[in-house]
Chains A and B, each alone.
Chain A
Amino acid sequence: MGRTDIGPPDYRDMLPPVIKKNYGKWKYHETIRPGVLRHVSESGDEVYTVRTGSPRLLSVDFIRDICDVADKYCDGYLRFTSRYNIEFMTDKKANVDALIEELKRLGLPVGGTGNAISNIVHTQGWIHCHSAATDASGLVKAIMDELYDYFTSMKLPAYVRIAVACCINMCGAVHCSDLAIVGVHRRPPKIDHEKVLAQCEIPTTIQSCPTGAIRRHPDPNVKSVVVREDLCMYCANCFTVCPAMPLADPEGDGVAIYAGGKVSNARKPPMFSRMVVPFLPNNPPRWPEVVNVIKKIVEVYASHAKKYERMGEWIERIGWEKFFKLTDIPFTEQHIDDFTHAVETYRTTTQFKW
């Protein structure tokens, strides 16, 4: 048996020499072109960082390819960002162009810096999750193909962070993204009573439902549960604790789109993303309806927002009523909140736009 609780490797063994030497001494940086940062140290040393996108789901052979690149140009080191981008660092300016060429040959887009659309934070979807209401990797690929130019340039008013979560568990950082795409179910769980008996603990299952929709089966001889469908909001909490209650349904499942969130504290405090489209169907392999709405919102934002204004700051300034008008997105009853903190969103003033 192996050792336990050794923890991860010490990060100090993973740092490129120039990073190690100038640790904590960085003075300033600049983005010299999309995807290329230059950091300058108090010591006068420089490090150039070339950032590329990545599909996140990587084969070991591909990882070996990028290791070859890092061995050749980066003293055998590389790093990943929190958005799955890959960063290649070198202290030699002369390496930068060759490095970029090599990365292009591997099919990796250089960019994701400054006022760009960086890689999409996402979850597992149909690749690996039982709970998924949509796929994540395919949606990301379809959207990034369409928004590719925004990754490799810096022409937006501010950066736009996009996230995809394939169910409302939202493993990814979606609820505070400029644009968030969330897989949703629209049908209550389908209960397999025999499996409930074998696999589920009934009190736990009843307790799991945030709306109290789950009751014991009315027939005491049936050791199972029933769902009051009018109370169910398809959150799948019950499915998490009881595998006999799946919600997946080809017609019922699809995605919702949220907009205007941010996590940074720059200018306005962090904000949640808000619903802009309650439902679009799953239409693999390329989800054209979703891609079109995302593209439309990005384009309206790009042409209307002021410089350095994040999507949420722009929407707050013009008002949500104006946002729906500009984007031609219909406002429906689903947009009106009726969950835990709903009334805070109801308008308590006569000030609004037409």
Chain B
Amino acid sequence: MSDETPLLDELEKGPWPSYVTQIKRAAKKKKAAKDLLGIQELSYKDRVTHWKHGGIVGVTGYGSGVIGRYCDQPEKFPDAAQFHTMRINHPAGWFYNTKSLREICDTWEQYGSGLTNFHGSTGDIILLGTTTENLQPCFDALTEKGYDLGGSGSALRTITGCVGQARCEWSNFDTLNLVYDLTMEFQDEIHRPRWPYKFKIKASGCPNDCVAAIARADFTIIGTWRDSLRIDQTAIRNYVDNGFEIKTLVVDKCPSGALEWDDRTKELKLNAEDCVRCMHCINKMPKAIRPGTDCGATILVGGKAPIIKGAYLSWVLIPFIKVEPPYEEIKDLLRKIWDFWDENGRTRERLAELIERVGLKNFLKEIGIPPVPQMVYKPRANPYVYF
């Protein structure tokens, strides 16, 4: 087996940090990483993947968190013939102390390929590549260090949220606390798949939605407020005095026409009732404008990627809810939704597809939520109504 990787070597050139360099670094210590490099080079030559469909592997007591993976060229690459992935639930907000990170590194150097993703698109820490035999000891060692598996398969997936109040002045609730609390509450749902398909929960502290909750979560929690945004007119004047074009860059771009700039009094006027809380003016003048103080969240449901019936953005279910520990209202709502989905969903039918099939009207009835106009852009146009 040749050690040369001419195609991959091309990807060590250029200014962006190279993943190939990372694999080569791990390959100095770990045979599995060396074989991964060979497999990747072969894929670059053949222009197809050399991974086979995963088998069922895992750790005792869990139905999720491990993705089985086998190479289709085991004779050529014996050290990566089994190359299973472990999904490790990240601490909320993806904050780490270095002691804890080093412990993960040591454990993974002992039991795996020494290669990781920080993080996977699931939000989990992805430990890439180990053998069936090493899964259990690696898991045991990780739990000693305080880590546990994340979700995979038809389970609740690892819950994620934006950085929130830890370092963002716009967060309308404590995203990290909510994420951690729900994660601890629903360990069983995360670790033991039993639903029609996957279910995702993501929380963003404000409508900027830094974790793409509206596109990527069946249950989307986005921070918002009910009163008026707060404007500091002195700070506004500072922006304007420094040449900031408030009229074209903020007032004219307000989607609801809620803002008015009085050039005479140098005052930014807001018609709070018209504001749809889009964040634009706040984003552009963070020193002068802040969200309101009667804070909570909007809950939306159904966001998902195209497979199978097409992509959906989440739909508004609850226009406003207070988000405060112990979060009982949110937990009850989740349980009601899961019961409904579990009972009525077909195999691999996500929540949005089920709601589309049975109708939002019936879904609302089942989970006991009254209809409000905030749920729709506009009422129906056709006359085909069931009474």
Contacts and interface: CB of A to CB of B under 8 A. Distances in A.
Interface string A23-62: 1101111100000000100000001010001111111111
Contact of B143 (A6, A30, A175): A6
Interface string B136-151: 1001111110111000
Contact of B118 (A9, A58, A261): A58
A28 B49 contact: no
A263 interface: yes
A341 B255 CA distance: 26
Contacts of B179: 11
A78 B118 CA distance: 12
A278 interface: no
A249 B48 contact: yes
Nearest to B162: A82
Contact of B98 (A78, A129, A137, A171): A78
Given A168-B306, A284-B47, A23 B166 contact: yes
Contacts of B22: 55, 57-59, 62
Contacts of A57: 19, 22-23, 115-117, 128
A7 B8 CA distance: 38
Interface stretch (B53-61, B259-267, B334-342): B53-61
B354 to A, nearest CB: 15
Contacts of B52: 130, 243
Contacts of A24: 165, 171, 174
Contact of A53 (B8, B16, B128): B16
Contacts of A253: 47-48
Contacts of B277: 265
A184 B181 CA distance: 39
B81 interface: no
Nearest to B51: A130
A6 B146 contact: yes
Contacts of B211: 82
Interface string A251-293: 0010000000101111110101000000000101110000000
Contact of A107 (B17, B69, B160, B167): B17
A39 B222 CA distance: 22
Contacts of A339: 310
Interface string A126-159: 1111111001011001101100100100000000
B17 A109 contact: yes
**Max chain A Cβ within 10 angstroms of own Cβ: one of B7, B88, B306:** B306
B98 A76 contact: yes
Interface in B18-71: 18-23, 25-26, 29, 33, 36, 39-40, 43-44, 46-54, 60-62, 69
A12 B200 CA distance: 23
A3 interface: yes
Contacts of A8: 88-92, 146-148, 180, 183
A57 B207 CA distance: 30
A5 B191 contact: yes
Interface in B77-122: 83, 85, 88-102, 104-106, 108-109, 114-122
B193 interface: no
B253 A60 contact: no
B107 to A, nearest CB: 9
B358 interface: no
B362 interface: no
Nearest to B55: A243
A111 to B, nearest CB: 11
B176 to A, nearest CB: 5
A120 to B, nearest CB: 10
Contacts of B25: 59, 61-62
**Max chain A Cβ within 10 angstroms of own Cβ: one of B105, B249, B290:** B105
Contacts of A15: 95, 166
B119 A29 contact: no
Contacts of A59: 22-23, 25-26, 33, 114-116
**Max chain B Cβ within 10 angstroms of own Cβ: one of A122, A148, A250, A266:** A266
Contacts of B215: 173, 175-176, 261, 263, 270
Contacts of A60: 26, 104-106, 108-109, 114-116
A248 interface: yes
A107 B11 CA distance: 14
B137 to A, nearest CB: 9
Contacts of B379: none
A173 B208 contact: no
B101 A67 contact: yes
B131 to A, nearest CB: 15
A174 B20 CA distance: 24
A4 B121 CA distance: 24
**Max chain A Cβ within 10 angstroms of own Cβ: one of B25, B91, B255:** B91
Interface string A175-197: 11000000000000000000000
Interface in A74-110: 76-82, 84, 86, 89, 107-109
Closest 8 CB pairs of A and B: A145-B14, A243-B53, A2-B140, A265-B207, A126-B43, A60-B105, A144-B16, A26-B169
Given A8-B180, A58-B115, A63-B102, 19 more contacts: A10-B91, A11-B166, A30-B287, A53-B16, A59-B22, A59-B116, A78-B101, A80-B94, A135-B40, A141-B11, A145-B16, A169-B305, A169-B307, A210-B309, A235-B307, A243-B53, A248-B49, A285-B7, A285-B8
21 contacts: A10-B91, A13-B91, A13-B100, A27-B169, A56-B19, A57-B116, A58-B117, A59-B33, A60-B108, A63-B104, A64-B102, A80-B119, A82-B211, A108-B17, A126-B50, A127-B19, A128-B83, A171-B121, A173-B212, A173-B215, A284-B43
Interface of A: 1-11, 13-16, 19, 23-24, 26-30, 39, 47, 49, 53-64, 67, 70-71, 76-82, 84, 86, 89, 107-109, 121-123, 125-132, 135, 137-138, 141-142, 144-145, 148, 151, 168-176, 204, 207-208, 210, 235, 237, 239, 243, 248-250, 253, 261, 263-268, 270, 272, 282, 284-286, 307-308, 339-341
